[in-house]
Structure formats: structure tokens, C-alpha cells
């Protein structure tokens, strides 16, 4: 108990460091080179300089080649502070890359210049994912400053390319550098949460995006019998898919409240003809499917194929089906001791009622879950990610660092 008080007091004294780190990182716009930026190089260089002033037992960079990036690589930083048991790592994982700021006219401040207003720090990346990154650093700094060695290694993984699929980040590390991770490692990912700090995310729905291209026959709108209206076929197909998919994949899982079921939502529709008096011969639309982990994406696609075949026969058309995204994610068992440890730690710091939850979106934690590691996503956030006037909370940054400290101390 005395040790916890010392750590909490030390973390509370790091407010100036929070502001300094945020200011320096916001000024390094780590936008992916595949979105028009330079990548993470400048931010990685700043962080390496900072981490070298600390007492890490291991500090190195895993560079993943990317010809489009500055210096031709995407850096992933590993910083490890040894614990009493050096065979196991608690990884606190955050990413350096950010999304572009979008429409500058929607920002009240320069997105690449930190602005501090009370408890809030404004700037692109301040919450997504600087807050989690800073919290992870504060925790280990407190251990170092107090001379405390946690039960197992406390390891920072500061990775690249999270925003565009992690090809040059976690995916590459698990594929080409798997020996970085030990068999009994666990992962704490401060890259998702809610304003009350009650979301301990342990599961994600499978993500399946389906593109449908309907091939009919174009003709004048006054002579519909001379053609086949691809737009009408698409509309019919949407309704048939909606009925069939919701009927077949109808289980409920309260872990994913409020969306406790699978969701199958028609979303994007591409332009077909530019004028009103032409019946389109081709129509393209998309279906965004978020599938409960108890189902397989392959089974959803099988049902889709059945419905498509029936519609093709009815309207005498051809329909092409493609899957731009087809990702599945295994859950972390909510009874896993690591999950319970995060729940208890968050409750102790924030005096709230955290609980294990599932989400419909995707996170980088899924890659580690699918590789067999327990992974929990937790942070107390205002959900400002990707928005104009993004900001983070200094108070939450310090609070999350305390949560991470309790987790680390509880890793028996």
C-alpha cells in the first residue's frame, strides 16, 4: 500500500512532462507515407532521445522497410525495464502514427501545435495515441525514479502504421520478429476506451466488408423493358441480404452492448449514371458486416453467395462479389486473470465500475489475440480520435499511468 502511494505521488509530479511530451510529439506529424506524410521517423527520433535518458535495460528499434517512408523504413521502438521475473513481459503498446488533420478550417487551433487549455491538450494525435504512449512512459519512469522492480518486465512497444492496418508495425513484428515476444507475455493497449474509464475491451467483432457489382443493361428511362435496371436489382439484393443475414446470424452477446447482435449495414454506393433519364447498367454498393466471434466470416459469405445466386436467377443478371476487408478476431477470455487485474486496477484508480466489453470496431490488439496472447484495450478517453480539435486530458493521462502501475505490480 505504501509502495502504491509513493508511485501515485511520483506520477502526479509528472504533469510538466506530459505537456512537454505532447508538445514535442504533436509537432512531429507522423502521417503515413501512404496518406501523404513522411511516416514516424521524426517522432521516433524524439522518443528515442527521451528514452535514452532513462534507465531501460533494453532499448532498440525494429525498422520495417517501406520505400515510401522517410529513410525508407517505419520504426518500431522496444524499451524494456527488467522485472524480478525476466522471462515474462507486460507490454504496454501504443502507436506513433496519426491520421491527417482533415479540413483545417474545422480546427480552432493549429493541429500540429500543442495548445493547453486547463486540463486539455489540443492537437492532432494528442489522444490517438499520444495519451496512451505518455501514460506508458510515466509508469515506468516512476518505477525507475523510486528504484522499484515490478514482478515481471515492463516493456513498451511503440509501434508504427496502426492507422492503416499495421503492415509495417505489429503485423510485420509478429511475422518476422516473433522472438521479440515470450510465450507468457500479456498486452495492455491504451488505444480505446470511454469517458468514464469503465470499458475494458477484450473482444472485437469480425470485420467483413463486401463489395457488390451488379451488371444489368443500360437503356433510356422511358423504355425500361429494353434494359435491366442495375439499381433496382441492387435495391432488391440489399433487402434480401438484410432479411437472410439477420435471420441466420441472430445470436446475441451482451458483451457487445449496445450492439449485441451481428450488424449488416449497406453503406457506400458508387455513382452510376450522371443523368436522371438513363437506367444504369452497372451499380456498385457495399455492405459493412460486424460479425460476432461465435460465427465465421466464411459462413456469412456462403449465405451471401446463396442470396446472390437467387437474385441473379430472378433478374437474369451477373453480380460480382468482392471482400475488401475480411478480418476475424479471437476474444481474450473474460475470466483470464489479466483481464481481472486490469478491471481491479481501473476501479481502484477511478473509483468506478469497469467491466469487460466487446466492440464492433477493430484494434491492433486483435493481432496479438489471434497469435494466442491475452490482450486488453483500456484507457480513459473522451473519444476525440480522428476529430477536428482533438484533445487529450492531462488528468486522464496521469490516471491511466497509475492504472498501468497497479497492473504491473499485480503481475504475479
Phi, psi of 362, rounded to the nearest 5 degrees: -110, 155
Distance CA 268, CA 211 (A): 9
Q: Give CA–CA dist 304/311, Å, rounded.
A: 11
The helix/strand/coil state of 74 is strand
Catalytic residue among 66, 162, 201, 283: 162
In this structure, the strands spanning 186-189 and 375-377 are: parallel
CA nearest neighbour of 210 among 266, 273, 153, 165 = 266
Between strands 391-393 and 120-122, the pairing is antiparallel
Q: Which three cell numbers stand for residue 204?
A: 472485437
Q: Is residue 110 flagged as an active site residue? A: no
Supply 168's cell numbers: 509495417
Q: Compute the distance between CA of residue 302 and CA of residue 241 in angstroms, rounded to an integer.
A: 12
Task: With residue 382 as reference, give the H or E element that holds it.
Answer: none
> How far is it, in rounded angstroms, from Cα 382 to Cα 393?
8
Contact, 210 vs 241, CB < 8 A?
no
* Apex 213 CA angle, 212 and 215, nearest 5: 140
243 is catalytic: no
**Residue 139 and residue 34 in contact, taking contact as beta carbons nearer than 8 Å:** no
Q: Which residue in the block uniquely carries the three cell numbers 496472447?
A: 373
Q: How far apart are the C-alpha atoms of 33 and 378, rounded to whole Å?
A: 28
Strand partners, 65: 73
First vs last Cα of the chain: how many Å apart?
16
Catalytic residue among 40, 97, 161, 191: 97
**β-strand pairing of 206-215 with 152-159:** unpaired
Task: Identify whether the C-beta of residue 250 lies closer than 8 Å to the C-beta of residue 300.
Answer: no
SS (H, E, C) 341-352: HHHHHHHHHHCC
Give catalytic residue positions: 97, 162
Amino acid at each position: 500500500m505504501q509502495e502504491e502511494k509513493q508511485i501515485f505521488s511520483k506520477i502526479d509530479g509528472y504533469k510538466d512532462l506530459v505537456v512537454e511530451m505532447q508538445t514535442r510529439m504533436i509537432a512531429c506529424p507522423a502521417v503515413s507515407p501512404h496518406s501523404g506524410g513522411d511516416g514516424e521517423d521524426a517522432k521516433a527520433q524524439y522518443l528515442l532521445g527521451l528514452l535514452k535518458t532513462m534507465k531501460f535495460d533494453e532499448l532498440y528499434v525494429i525498422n520495417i522497410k517501406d520505400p515510401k517512408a522517410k529513410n525508407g523504413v517505419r520504426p518500431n521502438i522496444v524499451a524494456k525495464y527488467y522485472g524480478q521475473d525476466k522471462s515474462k513481459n507486460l507490454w504496454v503498446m501504443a502507436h506513433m502514427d496519426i491520421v491527417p488533420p482533415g479540413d483545417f478550417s474545422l480546427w480552432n487551433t493549429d493541429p500540429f501545435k500543442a495548445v493547453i487549455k486547463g486540463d486539455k491538450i489540443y492537437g492532432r494525435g494528442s489522444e490517438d495515441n499520444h495519451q496512451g504512449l505518455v501514460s506508458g512512459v510515466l509508469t515506468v519512469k516512476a518505477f525507475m525514479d523510486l528504484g522499484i522492480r515490478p514482478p515481471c518486465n515492463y516493456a513498451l512497444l511503440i509501434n508504427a502504421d496502426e492507422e492503416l492496418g499495421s503492415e509495417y508495425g505489429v503485423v510485420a513484428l509478429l511475422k518476422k520478429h516473433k522472438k521479440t515476444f515470450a510465450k507468457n507475455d500479456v498486452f495492455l493497449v491504451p488505444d480505446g476506451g470511454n469517458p468514464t474509464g469503465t470499458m475494458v475491451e477484450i473482444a472485437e467483432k469480425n470485420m467483413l466488408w463486401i463489395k457488390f457489382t451488379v451488371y444489368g443493361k443500360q437503356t433510356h428511362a422511358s423504355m425500361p423493358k429494353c434494359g435491366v435496371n442495375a439499381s433496382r436489382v441492387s435495391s432488391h439484393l440489399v433487402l434480401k441480404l438484410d432479411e437472410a443475414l439477420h435471420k441466420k446470424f441472430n445470436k446475441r452477446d451482451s458483451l457487445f452492448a449496445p450492439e449485441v447482435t451481428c450488424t449488416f449495414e449497406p453503406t457506400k454506393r458508387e455513382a452510376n449514371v450522371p443523368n436522371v433519364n438513363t437506367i444504369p447498367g452497372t451499380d456498385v454498393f457495399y455492405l459493412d458486416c460486424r460479425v460476432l466471434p461465435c460465427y465465421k466470416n466464411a459462413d456469412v459469405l456462403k449465405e451471401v453467395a446463396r442470396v446472390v445466386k437467387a437474385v441473379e436467377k430472378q433478374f437474369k443478371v451477373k453480380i460480382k462479389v468482392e471482400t475488401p476487408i475480411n478480418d476475424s478476431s479471437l476474444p481474450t477470455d473474460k475470466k483470464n486473470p489479466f483481464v481481472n487485474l486490469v478491471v481491479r486496477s481501473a476501479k481502484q484508480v477511478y473509483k468506478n465500475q469497469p467491466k469487460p466489453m466487446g466492440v464492433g470496431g477493430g484494434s491492433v490488439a486483435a493481432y496479438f489475440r489471434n497469435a494466442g496472447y491475452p490482450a486488453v484495450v483500456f484507457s480513459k478517453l473522451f473519444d476525440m480520435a480522428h476529430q477536428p480539435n482533438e484533445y487529450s486530458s492531462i488528468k486522464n493521462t496521469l490516471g491511466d499511468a497509475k492504472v498501468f502501475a497497479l497492473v504491473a505490480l499485480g503481475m504475479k
